[in-house]
Chains A and B, each alone.
Chain A
Amino acid sequence: NIQNQMCMLNNTFIFSNKYCDILLVRGCPFVHEVRKDEDICSPILRKLFNESHHIFVGLQGIRDDLPSKNKKTQFVSISKNYRSVIRACMEELQQVAGKVEGKSDGSNRKSSWRVSILLAVELIWNLCEVLFIDAAPAGSLLLHLLDWVRLHKADVDEKARDVLQSESPTEHQAYWDVVISYVLQGRMDEARQVLMKQAALQPAARGMFKLLDNLLIKMPIFNPSGAQTLTEFDVKWRHWHEEVDRCLQDQSFASNPHLEVICKILVGDEDVLLEHKELLSTWYHFLVTRLLFSHPIVKPTELHYYAQSSMHMFLDTRSVPEPLDSILLAAFEFDIHQVIKDCSIALNNWWFVAHLTDLMDHCKLLQSHNLHFGSNLREFLLLEYASGLFTHHSLWQLAVDYFDHCPEFGRVYLELQIERVPLDTERKALKVLRICEQRQMTEQVRSICKIMAKGALRNNRLGSALSWSIRAKDAAFATLISERFLQDYCANGAFSDLDLIDNLGSAMLLSDRLTFLGKYREFHRLYGEKCFSDAAKLLLSLMTAKIAPRTFWMTLLTDALPLLEQKEVIFSADQTHELMFCLEDLTSGNCLPKPDRWFPFLFQDEDIDTTKIEILRLALARNLAKAIVKEGTVEV
């Protein structure tokens, strides 16, 4: 199930949505939840996302003012880093595929599909690296292309190992395939080594083998770091080519068809090359081999011509080129935009196009090709990729950095996405909050704190609710929670979350009620520590400075009772007067304030109130008397 597997890989790359996408309802009674596959959870692919994220961030840090030569080296090494991450991921997947082999649950197939897609991704990336990022000139270009083909057609080595380890290598059915494959990849030394086995067995044909060996040794290879100029190399190569051609004309290898084939390959005989389609396996291998033996100093600008003709020669005329062919062809034509577009369509894979495009953009390749919308394309792709990451329960944090590097819409996207991250735990909320705070996203910070405060209150976790609302600087909500604290105090006679309330500090000033809560708690602390006169002063000031809500005055006056009843005089005459004013103020007119909805229990019973007021009046009067006596007494 190609398509199926394909899709799953795509999901892992693009959609990675843990949550459902769309709900469909069609009449009764079903709701259909449609969502992307959750394949992203594969830990191996997550490694790909994580590690490429590091590379991405590093790339964004490369400074613009570096000399362009240094920059190019850096870009090439970054490109190689990306590729090695793909390779590592591929190898791990291969191992997994190996382990589950034999199981019929399809996971093996799934792994191998993923591997094959990564393989193709790496193939395309590598070619883009050679052509666009490294931008190798004539001469080196072919060397790079050879490396590219060798890397992606590594099954030769495996076959060679089989052959060489067999009892009689020369009898092995794949013997000549190995020799020719080596030659097709320009790996002459290895080809000679394998050939030697045969030569040793055929003393009669020693001369012929020797001759071929010589041709192979002598084949000139361009050395980009050497002193040799391209023209010198060209002359030398032509000489060699003529020599090979002469051997063919001489029929030097006529007696050994295998050797003759090799010689024909060396001379670049296209018909013979095409007879080895099986060994070449792809048109681009054919292209590179053809260049190696016919046009070793091909210029980048000539590539597209050879690429097109090679593709047509190699592929069956009736078969339509597959998307991979078109992508590679577009690359050979140096049409970056087409490569990105085709990759997007074919791979449906934001990871790849987003990172490749970003790198290309840094290399300033998109601007020159597409004028002004180059960076938009980069941003478009990065936004899509990052949005996909954001739906994952842990990968979303990677996405933040991608958004940070999208100058136009990154910030808005981040704002929209981050406030939707489900705040399952306080820890997660703090994580989200930190990200928002670092970026001065004040509205999101406020909103997150407020949601958390609301949630905590719903679950009756008052302390948490209070600290979140302080963080949100939400005065109204802090007031509400403070009232809940006071209400609880009135009901139970004790405060919860003492740590928090004792350490409010200046946060206390957020709302009047919160200030009162903090101060009132301070009164209790002072009282508990037996600092009676300080406690008394504070208690009085809570009323006189109108910090305490009037609905709470009765409670405060009741709190004053034990202080009034102490043996020692704590409230001075003046203070006692003030307390009396407060009581009279409270009871004057129609007297008692209407029961507040938060403090209904304070005034449940009028009888109790009247009794309480009487007790208070008595206590106040007695204290006043004591205070006057004490203050009027001269100590002797």
Chain B
Amino acid sequence: MFVARSIAADHKDLIHDVSYDFHGRRMATCSSDQSVKVWDKSESGEWHCTASWKTHSGSVWRVTWAHPEFGQVLASCSFDRTAAVWEEIVGESNDKQRGQSHWIKRTTLVDSRTSVTDVKFAPKYMGLMLTTCSADGVVRIYEAPDVMNLSQWSLQHEISGKLSCSCISWNPSSSRAHPPMIAVGSDDSNVTYGGKVQIYEYNENTRKYAKAETLMTVTDAVHDIAFAPNLGRSFHVLAIATKDVRIFKLVPLRKESSSTGPTKLEVQILAQFDNHNSQVWRVSWNITSTLLASSGDDGCVRLWKANYMDNWKCTGILKGDGSPVNGSSGQPSAMNTVVGSAVQASQNALNGSAAGRYFFPALDPPRAGSRFGQLLPPSTLIEHCDAQSAQTAPPVHPAPPGPVITLPSVPAKTVHHL
């Protein structure tokens, strides 16, 4: 089902983030070794590192691409209390020959007094805007008024919260339908401090961001947060990585025309999965928001999918133990190229009551005499994978950052199963 291969990233320390560009042809990695690397996909599908440079004087937590309309632009944020914007320029001929490209720093954003934990570009309809959040609980929104000049950024908004921030996500829905909206998660683990996810909305009248909602039910540390692409729906969908995976639906309530306050949101939980049985570190949507991937301290990436009745189910598990993958990738006979020890998949999007997962052992010969045994996977239903079936509470322990996952922004992140 899945073919995996390892790319020797050659970072000297933990990799914290990996990010695809808009078209899925480039990726960027960042690490505690204070560097960022950019990778380009060749015609043959191989990834080549085309740039690697020291970006910060501390661990680099996140790296993210701007929309290609603004050029080849990256933003990074770090423990060194800064965020930086980088632009690729077409290099000297020498560099070109070596397949290397030049990234130059356009700006350093130094407003934070603590570690900058996340950096995200705003949806492109808002122009070129960059948001950071930091451990002291401040969200900062910067704007480059001249998109041709990436050296000038002005701090437009500063939203101060009480809790240390760990992650931010912009609502990608366009301005005509909704005012700009941003969700902020906190990794403060003190449950008594209340909701760890805040939703802020831009108010046209006051020209400020105001809190629209706090997700009171999310009281544990939040590690990642992601708005789903909107698909023109009237509501928003938000995925949250905390001690489990949660998917929320945020329904804007109709505003009275006289009201100038933020839109009230009705918060509904669509799904909650504790299958990881441990802290969940990242959540990531595919581009049509039909599939959500999550990674956790159990060392697995789990894929979640809704059927047409909007029932969310686990649709695949990838066990990535980081062991080198042998052989050339894409060779069907080399089943050992499947990542990790097992790849499991079920197809239960169709209102399936039996959310069975078929287990595909490697190199199992066809069963002789099976009537159309070829047709179907054997019904060795090894495990059920329902939201309800996971029992034990996850052990809460300070764990090293778990697997980082990212669904590239290329079409149909393919991991759809029925």
Asked if B251 is an interface residue, CB under 8 A from chain A, the answer is no
Chain A residues with CB below 8 A from B287, complex form: 416-417, 420
Q: Tell whether, in the assembled complex, residue B417 and residue A120 are in contact, meaning their CB atoms are under 8 Å apart.
A: no
> How many Å lie between the Cα of A490 and that of B124 in the bound state?
35
Asked if B396 is an interface residue, CB under 8 A from chain A, the answer is no
Q: Tell whether, in the assembled complex, residue A387 and residue B416 are in contact, meaning their CB atoms are under 8 Å apart.
A: yes
Q: Tell whether, in the assembled complex, residue A391 and residue B414 are in contact, meaning their CB atoms are under 8 Å apart.
A: yes
Chain B residues with CB below 8 A from A421, complex form: 23, 411
Q: Tell whether, in the assembled complex, residue B7 and residue A322 are in contact, meaning their CB atoms are under 8 Å apart.
A: no
> How many Å lie between the Cα of A476 and that of B13 in the bound state?
43
Q: Provided the pairs A31-B18, A36-B3 are in contact, do residues A25 and B378 lie with their beta carbons within 8 angstroms?
A: no
> How many Å lie between the Cα of A231 and that of B252 in the bound state?
65
Please name the residue on chain A nearest to B332 by beta carbon.
A8
Chain A residues with CB below 8 A from B6, complex form: 30-33
Chain A residues with CB below 8 A from B400, complex form: 27
Q: Tell whether, in the assembled complex, residue A345 and residue B5 are in contact, meaning their CB atoms are under 8 Å apart.
A: no
List residues 1-33 of chain A with CB under 8 A from any CB of chain B.
1-8, 10-11, 14-33
Q: Tell whether, in the assembled complex, residue A19 and residue B408 are in contact, meaning their CB atoms are under 8 Å apart.
A: yes
Q: Tell whether, in the assembled complex, residue A460 and residue B90 are in contact, meaning their CB atoms are under 8 Å apart.
A: yes
Q: Which of B12, B229, B307, B365 contacts A1 (CB 8 A)?
A: B365
Q: Tell whether, in the assembled complex, residue B376 and residue A7 are in contact, meaning their CB atoms are under 8 Å apart.
A: no
Chain A residues with CB below 8 A from B325, complex form: 32
Asked if B253 is an interface residue, CB under 8 A from chain A, the answer is no
Asked if B191 is an interface residue, CB under 8 A from chain A, the answer is no
Q: Provided the pairs A4-B362, A345-B347, A420-B24 are in contact, do residues A106 and B333 lie with their beta carbons within 8 angstroms?
A: yes
Chain B residues with CB below 8 A from A447, complex form: 69, 124
Contact with B along A404-442 (1 / 0, CB 8 A): 000001011100110111110000000000000000000
Chain A residues with CB below 8 A from B418, complex form: 344-345, 348, 350, 353, 381, 384
Chain B residues with CB below 8 A from A422, complex form: 23-25, 410
Asked if A166 is an interface residue, CB under 8 A from chain B, the answer is no
Q: Which of B11, B20, B375, B402 contacts A120 (CB 8 A)?
A: B375
Asked if B194 is an interface residue, CB under 8 A from chain A, the answer is no
Chain A residues with CB below 8 A from B329, complex form: 33
Asked if A334 is an interface residue, CB under 8 A from chain B, the answer is no
Task: Say which one of A125-133, A451-459, A516-524, A543-551 lies at the interface with B.
Answer: A451-459
Q: Provided the pairs A27-B14, A454-B68 are in contact, do residues A388 and B414 lie with their beta carbons within 8 angstroms?
A: yes
> How many Å lie between the Cα of A455 and that of B411 in the bound state?
21
Chain A residues with CB below 8 A from B13, complex form: 28
The number of inter-chain residue pairs (CB within 8 angstroms) is: 313
Asked if B110 is an interface residue, CB under 8 A from chain A, the answer is no
Q: Among the interface residues A383, A384, A455, which one has the most CB atoms of the partner chain B within 10 A?
A: A384
Q: Tell whether, in the assembled complex, residue B339 and residue A14 are in contact, meaning their CB atoms are under 8 Å apart.
A: no
Asked if B235 is an interface residue, CB under 8 A from chain A, the answer is no
Chain A residues with CB below 8 A from B31, complex form: 28
Chain A residues with CB below 8 A from B335, complex form: 1, 4
Q: Tell whether, in the assembled complex, residue A384 and residue B322 are in contact, meaning their CB atoms are under 8 Å apart.
A: no
List residues 1-31 of chain B with CB under 8 A from any CB of chain A.
1-15, 17-18, 20, 22-25, 27, 29, 31
Asked if A341 is an interface residue, CB under 8 A from chain B, the answer is yes
Asked if A37 is an interface residue, CB under 8 A from chain B, the answer is yes
List residues 362-392 of chain B with CB under 8 A from any CB of chain A.
362-367, 370-379
> How many Å lie between the Cα of A380 and that of B349 in the bound state?
10
Q: Tell whether, in the assembled complex, residue A4 and residue B332 are in contact, meaning their CB atoms are under 8 Å apart.
A: yes
Q: Provided the pairs A21-B408, A27-B400, A387-B412 are in contact, do residues A10 and B288 lie with their beta carbons within 8 angstroms?
A: no
A163 CB, min distance to chain B CBs, angstroms: 24
B interface residues, tally (CB under 8 Å) = 110
> How many Å lie between the Cα of A447 and that of B174 in the bound state?
14
Chain A residues with CB below 8 A from B68, complex form: 451, 454-455
> How many Å lie between the Cα of A422 and that of B40 in the bound state?
13
Q: Tell whether, in the assembled complex, residue A390 and residue B412 are in contact, meaning their CB atoms are under 8 Å apart.
A: yes
Q: Tell whether, in the assembled complex, residue B3 and residue A34 are in contact, meaning their CB atoms are under 8 Å apart.
A: yes
Asked if A264 is an interface residue, CB under 8 A from chain B, the answer is no
> How many Å lie between the Cα of A331 and that of B6 in the bound state?
45
Asked if B111 is an interface residue, CB under 8 A from chain A, the answer is no
Contact with B along A441-480 (1 / 0, CB 8 A): 0000001001100110011100000000000000011001
Asked if B350 is an interface residue, CB under 8 A from chain A, the answer is yes
Main secondary structure of the interface of B (DSSP, over half): loop
Chain B residues with CB below 8 A from A344, complex form: 347, 349-350, 418
Asked if B413 is an interface residue, CB under 8 A from chain A, the answer is yes
B389 CB, min distance to chain A CBs, angstroms: 18
List residues 207-233 of chain B with CB under 8 A from any CB of chain A.
229, 231-232
Chain A residues with CB below 8 A from B364, complex form: 1-4
Q: Tell whether, in the assembled complex, residue B320 and residue A26 are in contact, meaning their CB atoms are under 8 Å apart.
A: yes
Q: Tell whether, in the assembled complex, residue A417 and residue B362 are in contact, meaning their CB atoms are under 8 Å apart.
A: no
Chain A residues with CB below 8 A from B379, complex form: 320, 322-323
Chain B residues with CB below 8 A from A398, complex form: none
> How many Å lie between the Cα of A25 and that of B72 in the bound state?
23
Q: Which of B231, B361, B406 contacts A23 (CB 8 A)?
A: B406
Q: Tell whether, in the assembled complex, residue A480 and residue B371 are in contact, meaning their CB atoms are under 8 Å apart.
A: no
Task: Say which one of B135-143, B197-205, B293-301 lies at the interface with A.
Answer: B293-301
Q: Which of B318, B370, B416 contacts A384 (CB 8 A)?
A: B416
Asked if B358 is an interface residue, CB under 8 A from chain A, the answer is yes
Q: Tell whether, in the assembled complex, residue B408 and residue A23 are in contact, meaning their CB atoms are under 8 Å apart.
A: yes
Chain B residues with CB below 8 A from A29, complex form: 8-12, 15
List residues 165-183 of chain B with CB under 8 A from any CB of chain A.
none
Chain A residues with CB below 8 A from B12, complex form: 28-29
Asked if B83 is an interface residue, CB under 8 A from chain A, the answer is no
Known pairs A18-B45, A21-B407; list 9 more (Cβ under 8 Å): A1-B335, A17-B410, A24-B404, A324-B371, A344-B350, A348-B417, A388-B416, A409-B231, A417-B412
Which residues of B are interface residues toward A (Cβ below 8 A)?
1-15, 17-18, 20, 22-25, 27, 29, 31, 41, 45, 47, 68-72, 88-90, 124, 147-148, 229, 231-232, 287-288, 290, 293, 295, 299, 301, 307-309, 318, 320-322, 324-325, 329-330, 332-333, 335, 339, 345-352, 356, 358, 360-367, 370-379, 400, 402-418
Q: Which 4 A-B pairs have the closest CB atoms?
A: A380-B308, A387-B412, A3-B360, A17-B414
Which residues of A are interface residues toward B (Cβ below 8 A)?
1-8, 10-11, 14-39, 105-106, 110, 113, 116-117, 119-120, 281-282, 320, 322-325, 340-341, 344-348, 350, 353, 373, 376-377, 379-381, 383-384, 387-391, 396, 409, 411-413, 416-417, 419-423, 447, 450-451, 454-455, 458-460, 476-477, 480
Q: Give me 23 A-to-B residue pairs in the complex whose CB atoms sit less than 8 angstroms apart, sorted by A's number.
A: A1-B365, A2-B377, A4-B363, A6-B360, A17-B414, A19-B25, A19-B408, A21-B407, A22-B301, A22-B406, A28-B11, A33-B329, A34-B4, A38-B330, A120-B375, A322-B372, A345-B350, A380-B307, A387-B288, A412-B288, A416-B287, A422-B23, A422-B410
